[in-house]
């Protein structure tokens, strides 16, 4: 195992999505605001008691998580002079949520004995911390640009019942136990997930993949870069894109292929000078994704570390048996070169609480890849292997290598026509495909005979499959990037 050990600062990153009051959240989840605001209308004591009663009901249901509005997603513009401080404050918001969730997980007895405990000891203090942190974000931006309005309304968080019967994409209601408590016997993540209802038999999923037809003038070539499967075991729980300069900014462990100098402190110059695992040495790009783990009780190198077992990411890390990195064209027209150091995130690590707006997980099995799942892990038949596919945004604004929310500078082409949004240019699209040799888990005994597998994630995201995501930083040599563009635009297959 190799983990970067450069000296680091000890802060962390940003936050998640929510609802106030008693509401039906995304995926049929119950959200309850257990911090009664002094500004609520009506009798404040009555309102507070009602809120506490609802919180007690949710907590009693088991499998409860914390949901907070995603502050980072609301920041469309951050002055360059303020970005470092804002990034650190956003990371701190994430750390606060993770710590509150961990306390919630270990406070079952106290909550049973005192219905006010969750409110007074966990959710209230969490809101107070978020108020102060969000205020510092506003001040930092306000020094160089108009202070963003309305950020203070994002401080309040809610308890959310995760349940075990989420709606399966196009498959009706899931089946299985809902609390996952029985998984401790096989070394799994217990109440932190996954649960039986997170899995579905891929053979019972209807084909759902549609690809836009290529038009005349389309760029139909494919450029393949071969960068291995992380045999070098480069892992860390940083995220240089979302939380630069912050140790453990991801709160979960990443696999890395390509660039070998990957941590929260790597500069563009260091990326350009680093070694690469890619066969073509002109590709020093970094490709990374959350590791997949088997809940078999294995004590990995990070079993007691933040980002690993200390934050609910436990079990044996599974290395992909195959990693395919293809760059493809646009079905409507030609592509242009990506700018060096372009950063792209696909999917949403917080989609379980944020909702599905940016979710882009695609789980399937070999032989069944016309059936893609976003909110379920597939059970593959014998002889079929697990597949994770990530398609990255393929339209670029023509100006920026990143944006304040790490999304606005890139976009997906229209799924029907392949057209990019106005003002955006088509660039080569990265299609990342990971294949794993993993035995189908046993659902009839809650994964005891054959253990569950799950993707690493933020603690409060409960290892839901919908939170799968991928990250890419372009560090192609310009000559090789130009060769890629020419290859794709002329319809060839190259590497």
Domains of the chain, residue spans: 23-161, 181-494
Which ranges constitute the DSSP H helices of 12-160? 44-60, 71-74, 80-105, 108-113, 117, 124-142
What span, in angstroms and rounded, lies between the C-alpha atoms of 100 and 452?
26
Q: Is the pLDDT of residue 34 over 60?
A: no
Specify the 3-state DSSP secondary structure of 88: helix
Pairing of strands 199-201, 172-173: unpaired
Residue 8: pLDDT band by 50, 70, 90 thresholds? very low
Please report the pLDDT score of residue 280 as a whole number. Answer: 97
Smallest Cα–Cα separation from 455: which of 366, 381, 390, 368?
390
Smallest Cα–Cα separation from 1: which of 312, 454, 226, 305?
305
Range from 12-26, 308-322, 471-485 carrying the lowest mean pLDDT: 12-26
What span, in angstroms and rounded, lies between the C-alpha atoms of 16 and 39?
23
Please report the pLDDT score of residue 181 as a whole number. Answer: 33
Q: Evaluate the omega torsion of the peptide bond into residue 194 and state whether it is cis, within 30 degrees of 0.
A: yes
Q: Is the pLDDT of residue 31 over 90?
A: no
Q: What is the mean pLDDT of residues 324-338?
A: 97
pTM score, two decimals? 0.86
Residue 62: pLDDT band by 50, 70, 90 thresholds? low
What span, in angstroms and rounded, lies between the C-alpha atoms of 320 and 435?
5
Q: Is the pLDDT of residue 311 over 80?
A: yes
Residue 19: pLDDT band by 50, 70, 90 thresholds? very low
> What Å distances lie between residue 441 and 242, 372, 377, 423, 452, CA to CA?
33, 19, 10, 47, 5
> What is the DSSP code (8-state) at residue 443?
T
Q: Is the pLDDT of residue 99 over 60?
A: yes
Residue 193: pLDDT band by 50, 70, 90 thresholds? confident
């Amino acid at each position: 195992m190799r983990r970067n050990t450069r000296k680091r600062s000890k802060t962390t990153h940003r936050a998640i999505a929510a609802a106030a009051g008693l509401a039906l959240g995304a995926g049929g989840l119950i959200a309850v605001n257990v911090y009664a605001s002094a500004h609520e209308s009506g009798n404040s004591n009555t309102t507070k008691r009602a809120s506490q009663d609802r919180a007690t009901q949710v907590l009693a249901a088991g499998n409860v998580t914390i949901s907070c509005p995603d502050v980072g997603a609301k920041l469309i513009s951050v002055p360059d002079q303020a970005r470092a401080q804002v990034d650190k404050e956003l990371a701190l918001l994430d750390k606060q949520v993770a710590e509150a969730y961990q306390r919630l997980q270990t406070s079952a007895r106290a909550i049973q004995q005192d219905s006010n405990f969750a409110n007074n000891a966990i959710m209230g203090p969490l809101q107070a911390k978020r108020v102060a942190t969000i205020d510092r974000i506003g001040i930092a931006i306000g020094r160089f640009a108009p202070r963003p309005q309305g950020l203070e309304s994002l401080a309040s968080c809610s308890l959310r019942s995760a349940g075990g019967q989420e709606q399966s994409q196009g498959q009706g209601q899931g089946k299985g136990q809902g609390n996952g408590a029985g998984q401790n016997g096989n070394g799994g993540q217990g109440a932190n997930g996954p649960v039986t209802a997170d899995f579905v038999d891929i053979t019972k999923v209807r084909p759902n993949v549609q690809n836009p037809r290529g038009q005349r003038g389309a760029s139909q070539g494919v450029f393949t870069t071969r960068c291995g499967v992380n045999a070098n075991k480069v892992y860390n729980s940083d995220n240089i894109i979302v939380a630069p300069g912050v140790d453990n900014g991801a709160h979960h462990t990443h696999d890395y292929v390509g660039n070998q100098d990957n941590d929260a402190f790597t500069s563009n110059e260091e990326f350009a000078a680093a070694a690469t695992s890619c066969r073509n040495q002109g590709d020093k790009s970094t490709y990374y994704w959350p590791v997949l783990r088997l809940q078999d009780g294995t004590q990995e190198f990070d079993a007691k570390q933040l980002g690993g077992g200390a934050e609910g990411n436990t079990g044996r890390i599974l290395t992909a048996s195959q990693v395919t990195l293809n760059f493809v064209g646009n079905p409507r027209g030609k592509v242009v070169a990506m700018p060096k150091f372009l950063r792209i995130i696909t999917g949403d690590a917080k989609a379980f609480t944020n909702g599905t707006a940016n979710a882009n997980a695609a789980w399937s099995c070999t032989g069944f890849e016309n059936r893609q799942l976003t909110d379920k892990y597939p059970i593959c038949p014998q002889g079929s292997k697990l597949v994770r596919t990530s398609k990255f945004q393929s339209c670029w604004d023509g100006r920026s290598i990143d944006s304040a929310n790490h999304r606005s500078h890139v976009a997906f082409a229209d799924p029907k026509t392949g057209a990019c949004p106005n003002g955006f240019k088509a660039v080569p699209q990265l299609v990342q495909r990971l294949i794993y040799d993993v035995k189908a888990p046993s659902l009839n005994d809650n994964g005891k005979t054959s253990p569950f597998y799950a993707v690493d994630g933020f603690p409060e995201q409960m290892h839901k499959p919908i939170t799968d995501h991928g990250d890419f930083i372009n560090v192609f040599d310009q000559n090789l990037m130009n060769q890629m563009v020419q290859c794709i635009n002329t319809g060839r297959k190259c590497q």
